[in-house]
Chains A and B, each alone.
Chain A
Amino acid sequence: MLDVLGQIELNESVKLHTIKSNKFKTDLIGVYIRRPLLKEEATKNSLLSMLINKGTEKYPSFLELNKKLEELYGSILVSDVSKKGEQHIIQIKMQLPSRKYVDSQDILKEGINILNDVLNNQITQDGGFKRESFLQEKENLREKIEGRINDKMKLALERCVEEMCVDENYSIYEYGSIEELERIDEKELYQYFKNVIASSPIDIFIVGDVEEKESQELFTQLLKFERGEIISIPNEVINKSITKVKEAQDNYNINQGKVTLGYRTNIPYKSELYESSILFSNILGGGPNSKLFKNVRERESLCYYIFSKVDKFKSIMLVSSGIEFQNFEKAKKLIQQEVESLKEGRFSQEDIDIAKKSIVNSIKSLTDTPNMLMDFLYSQILGNSFDTIENIISKIEAVTKDSIIEAGKKFELDTIYFLNKEKEGQ
């Protein structure tokens, strides 16, 4: 059984959502703190996410906090940031084994207490974060930002977006920049943290074998918030006129080239055509039955991986693949041909049915993974459109060939990015 139960407001713009299910071995709690994606905030959010799960007043070091988590049968506390369109979400998650399986009746309560300490009882020194830990995490964040080049597949996607949206906030890297990092000190960051807790819209989810009433009582009692004025977060700007397709490349000493094409879909997620735009991308590069997989991989043997995906909030479609360097022109041409051919309606009813079924299958499957379910429900909240899973599925089912073509015709190629090898002699 799985029930998305009601929500209550724990405090101003702090909402608790309880999802009851007895099929899991765990209780999972997620705290989502919502910020706009801004150059002057992104690095701070990212640094905060690395710092706040490293210790609290009660468990003042990473070692002590982890000992406590281990005592709670290997409970897991993680925090991270994620970029959703032009919003930046600080996420704190805690997974606890369910009371049914371990000999600890208060485990959920203890978990919420730790979360409360993370949010409200950080260790401070002279009105700032403890200097030593702050400097440590600052250095770790530097390594993380610089370490972005270690994953070339992801890098090729991110760099395409940066070139494409160069004067938009969407180009901001989710972990921030070295330049901004240099400027942050422990006092300012602590003030910022207090402000984030007081002013951000916050959503809390729990997925587990817990009754609505119990969940509401526990969180009301144990999780405290000092609230101030709540910020409002602007919607993304998604329409942008393209005068000329941009081309960009970077050179690294590598063995495989990566090509990424960035398209503006020009269809906001609130549009009636949104589901059609998702289907367009799915038919193009959603899986082994897609046009790109069949033609670029299977027919031409050009690549091992090739896919397309849409950012819901920013209405951008990215197509990416790993190829031999000398095949760049060919791959670029083939990908564009496939997009054009879809726009002209060259796909069958079977292609549509398969794409629909694959999307419906993945939406239904979400309900078996607490973390994915939570993230999915939260993305609904971010879009201010809290639909039931059944409703979302029926919107997908309702899409027609005509509406997919209509959606596809709005797609515009904006940027072609190539991660290339170093030039000879370098």
Chain B
Amino acid sequence: MEKEIYSEILKEKIYFHKLDNGLEIFVMPKKHYTKKFAIFGTKYGSMDNKFIVPGESNATEVPEGIAHFLEHKLFESEEGGVFNKFSKLGSSVNAYTNFNSTCYLFSCTDKFYENLSILMDFVQSPYLTDENVEKEKGIIEQEIRMYEDNPHWKVFFNGLRGLYHKHPVKIDIAGTVESIYKITKDELYKCYNSFYVPNNMVVFVVGDVDREEIYKTIEKSLKPSFKSLSGDIERIMPDETKEIMDRKIEEKLSVSMPIFNIAFKNTNNILKGKELLKTDVQTKTILDTVFGKSSKLYKKLYDEGLINENFETEYTFDVSYGHSVIGGESKNPDRVYDIIRGEIEDIKNSGLNREDFERVKKKAIGQHISSYNSVEFIANTFISYYFKGINLFDYIIELQNMDYDTINKRFKEHFDLDKSVLSLITPNN
């Protein structure tokens, strides 16, 4: 049975079709686009290190970085050359792992259904041997080393380690060199069999495509072994306190000047679905109103030479966590932190500027609409929200519905100075 969702504002449509085995398929037609883009994703990311499989009584605990390791290994197949199959059709294949999902994707301009069939096939066909698992370790070690020299990555994860005591969002997505060397073939299979199942996965396709042909191609590619588990997997998340772990974390790296992240921790993580989306939309709007390029705070910091053009904010969340990050480069990050703290106190007393809020809201609407130019944005964002129980088309509606009073309420709740961390990367020479 096929359903459709239409967005009047975006003038876009998404079709939804659920297969008998539980796999869900979404298709967004994009007329006149040359590129066709598909993602086959599983709701399984770096945070899912401890879980109970339906039918088992004991919890399984696996080394950090295993979801990402598995992502690398799925490109291995018995006859060899997953990359080669896509390359022969002229398409490019890729994958990524984040906190809560692993996604396999390709983009092509030709032979779309063949490509789709290869995508479906390789993700359903793990081929792991002790030897090929060992071989991957050197490659992933170099990936980890590459991130160790990336100050923006380091400052971000150090900030998370300051915010969280136990929550696995603080774990580096690729794990550590130490943890990946512990990973075994059996553990990889265990994770694969637990999370790469139809009712934990989704397919998203965007481009100038034929829906019936997509459903047919996918149905045909299903392996008998690809079956939903009899129940939901239980993901064990440790109880995370409302308090932060460290106020300030500093590390030295080869950089030209201090790089900072100021992070704020959500203390109320009980929301789901639309309510969860509302806090997301609200928090992003607040960040832009208070710290954006038209804010008086930005002007003050910029005019005093305390920040440069690399000054950005973001809000990241899932059902079990959420945090805002304000990041940049500064000669005097402690002073930036003080000024930001002062501004937050002021806004708590006086409220956000109403005119600024209305303008920033207008901006957010225009930019959200504009982002639908990109098939990559659509597919990646849709899946990311879908795994959080949110329909992406509701984003623009919640943006429009957002009002000044709820924004102020959210501001007071989220920007608690006792729940903030200053993470710093400073020059090591």
A residues at B contact (CB < 8 Å): 1-2, 21-26, 50, 61-63, 66-67, 69-76, 95, 97, 100-102, 136, 139-140, 143-144, 146-153, 252-256, 287-289, 293, 297-298, 301-305, 322-324, 350, 353-354, 356-358, 360-362, 364-365, 367-370
Is A74's CB under 8 angstroms from B296's CB?
Answer: no
A69 proximity list for chain B (CB < 8 A): 363
Contacts of A76 in B (CB 8 A): 367
What are 20 pairs between A and B in contact, CB < 8 Å? A61-B299, A62-B299, A71-B359, A73-B365, A74-B366, A100-B11, A102-B369, A136-B302, A140-B308, A252-B429, A253-B428, A254-B149, A255-B148, A256-B149, A298-B139, A324-B142, A357-B90, A362-B92, A365-B107, A365-B109
Tell me whether A322 and B32 are in contact (CB under 8 A): no
Return the contact of B137 from the options A72, A153, A287, A301 (Cβ within 8 A). A301
Tell me if B146 and A370 are in contact (CB < 8 A): no
Size bracket, chain B contacts: 35 or more
Given A143-B308, A150-B255, 4 other A-B residues pairs in contact with their CB atoms under 8 A: A101-B9, A303-B142, A364-B109, A368-B35
Cα separation A288 to B87 with both chains bound (whole Å) = 8
CA distance A22 to B31 in the complex (A): 10
* A residues less than 8 Å from B253 (CB atoms): 253
With contacts A253-B428, A304-B140, A369-B374 taken as known, whether A358 is within 8 angstroms of B90 at the C-beta atoms is yes
B311 to chain A, nearest CB (A): 11
Name B's interface SS: mixed
* Whole-angstrom distance between the Cβ of B139 and the nearest chain A Cβ: 5
Interface residues of B in 280-307 (CB under 8 A from A): 292-296, 298-299, 302-303, 305
Q: Which residues 388-429 of B have a CB within 8 angstroms of A?
A: 428-429
Contacts of B259 in A (CB 8 A): 150
Check B145 for interface membership: any CB of A closer than 8 A. yes
Count CB-based A-B contacts (< 8 Å). 191
Asked if A361 and B302 make an inter-chain contact with CB atoms under 8 angstroms apart, the answer reads: no
User: Known contacts A256-B148, A301-B138; is A70 also within 8 Å of B374 by CB?
Assistant: no
| Contact indicator B373/A24 (Cβ below 8 Å) | yes
Is B33 part of the binding interface, using a Cβ–Cβ cutoff of 8 Å? yes
- Among B30, B83, B370, point to the contact of A26 (Cβ < 8 A): B370
Q: 1/0 contact trace for B73-115 toward A, CB 8 Å?
A: 0000000000110011111110000000000000111100000
Q: Are the C-beta atoms of B254 and A252 separated by less than 8 Å?
A: yes
Q: Which residue of the partner chain B has the closest CB to A140?
A: B308
Q: Judge if B329 is at the interface, Cβ distance under 8 Å.
A: yes
Identify the closest chain B residue to A306 (Cβ): B142
Contact A361 B254 (CB under 8 A): no
Complex Cα distance, B278 from A182, in Å, reads 49
CB B26 to nearest CB in A, in angstroms, measures 19
Check A70–B428 contact: CB distance below 8 A.
no
Question: Are A153 and B294 in contact (CB-based, < 8 A)?
Answer: no
User: Of the candidates B91, B92, B139, which one forms a contact with A297 in the assembled complex, judged by CB atoms under 8 Å apart?
Assistant: B139
Contacts A70-B359, A368-B375; is A75 near B366 (CB within 8 Å)?
Answer: yes
B-side contacts of A149, CB under 8 Å = 254-256
Residue B309 interfacial (CB < 8 Å): yes
Inter-subunit contact A71/B362 (CB<8 Å) = yes
* Cross-chain contact B145 with A256 (CB below 8 angstroms): yes
- How many Å lie between the Cα of A214 and that of B372 in the bound state? 25
Q: Which of B345-388 contact A (CB under 8 A)?
A: 359-360, 362-367, 369-375
A1-B299 in contact (CB<8A): no
Closest chain B residue to A28 by CB distance? B373
Closest CB-CB distance, A38 to chain B, in whole Å? 25
Q: Which residues of chain B are within 8 angstroms of A74 by Cβ–Cβ distance? A: 362-367, 370
- Answer whether A304 and B303 are a contact pair too, CB < 8 Å, given A63-B294, A370-B373: no
| Partner among B31, B32, B293 whose Cβ is within 8 Å of the Cβ of A66 | B293
Given contacts A73-B366, A256-B146, A361-B90, contact A101 B11 (CB under 8 A): yes
- B32 and A63: CB pair below 8 A? no
Do B329 and A143 touch across chains, with their CB atoms under 8 A apart? yes
Q: Could you say which residues of chain A place their CB within 8 Å of the CB of B129?
A: none
Q: Kindly state whether residue B237 has any CB partner on chain A within 8 Å.
A: no
Chain A residue contacts of B3, Cβ below 8 A = none
Q: Which of B32, B88, B296 has the most CB of A within 10 A?
A: B32
- Which of B31, B92, B292 is within 8 Å of A287, CB to CB? B92
Q: Does B216 contact A (CB under 8 A)?
A: no
Give the distance in Å from the alpha carbon of A323 to the alpha carbon of B369 in the complex. 42
Give the Cβ gap from B284 to chain A, nearest Cβ, in Å.
12
Q: Which B residues lie within 8 Å of A256 (CB)?
A: 142, 145-146, 148-149
B31 to A, closest residue via Cβ: A23
Closest Cβ neighbor of A64 among chain B residues: B294
Residues of B close to A63: CB separation below 8 A: 293-296, 298-299
Verify if B151 is at the interface (C-beta below 8 Å from A). yes
Are A322 and B142 in contact, with the CB atoms below 8 A? yes
Q: Is the CB–CB distance between A354 and B366 below 8 Å?
A: no
Say yes or no: B140 contacts A140, CB within 8 Å: no
Contact between A301 and B135, CB atoms less than 8 A apart? yes
Assembly CA distance A25 to B370 (angstroms): 5
A254 to B359, CA, bound (A): 44
Shortest CB–CB separation between residue A421 and chain B, in angstroms?
A: 10
Query: With A147-B329, A354-B88, A368-B34 in contact, do A70 and B294 touch (Cβ < 8 Å)?
Result: yes
Q: Give me the 9 closest cross-chain CB pairs, A-B, nearest first.
A: A73-B366, A357-B90, A301-B138, A74-B363, A74-B366, A288-B83, A256-B145, A304-B143, A74-B367
A254-B254, A361-B108 are known contacts. Are A304 and B142 too (CB-CB below 8 A)? yes
Within the assembled complex, what's the spacing in Å between the Cα atoms of A358 and B109? Answer: 10
Q: Which residue of A lies closest to B91 (CB)?
A: A361
Q: Is the CB of A304 within 8 A of B88?
A: no
Least distance between A83 CB and chain B CB atoms (Å): 19
Q: Does B257 contact A (CB under 8 A)?
A: yes
Minimum distance in angstroms from B197 CB to a CB of chain A: 27
Residue in contact with B149 in the complex, picked from A66, A100, A146, A152, CB distance below 8 Å: A152
Q: How far is the CA of A75 from the CA of B9 in the complex (A)?
A: 18
Contact A365 B35 (CB under 8 A): yes
Query: Which of B89, B146, B369, B370 has the most chain A CB atoms inside 10 A of its CB?
Result: B370
- The answer to whether A146 touches B257, judged by C-beta atoms less than 8 angstroms apart, is yes
Of A139, A255, A353, A370, the contact of B305 (CB 8 Å cutoff): A139
Contact of B309 among A50, A152, A356, A361 (CB under 8 A): A50
Least CB distance from B258 to A in Å reads 11
Interface centre among A75, A255, A301, A368 (most CB of B within 10 A): A368
* Interfacial chain A residues near B373, Cβ < 8 Å: 24-26, 369-370
Q: Knowing A26-B373, A322-B142 are in contact, say whether A97-B366 is a contact too (CB < 8 A).
A: yes
Of the candidates A71, A253, A256, A369, the one having the most CB atoms from chain B within 10 angstroms of its own CB is: A256
B140-157 interface (Cβ within 8 A of A)? 140, 142-143, 145-146, 148-151
Q: Decide: B366 and A72 in contact? CB cutoff 8 A.
A: yes
A residues near B143, Cβ cutoff 8 Å: 304-305
**Residue B32 contacts which of A2, A147, A358 (CB distance < 8 angstroms)?**
A2
Interface mask (B11-44 → A, CB under 8 Å = 1, otherwise 0): 1000000000000000000111111000000000
Q: How far is the CA of A322 from the CA of B138 in the complex (A)?
A: 12
* Chain A neighbourhood of B309, CB < 8 A: 50, 140, 144
Residue of A nearest to B372 (CB): A25
Given A62-B293, A73-B365, residue A353 in contact with residue B88 (CB < 8 A): yes
A129 to chain B, nearest CB (A): 16
Interface set, chain B 333-351, CB cutoff 8 A to A: none
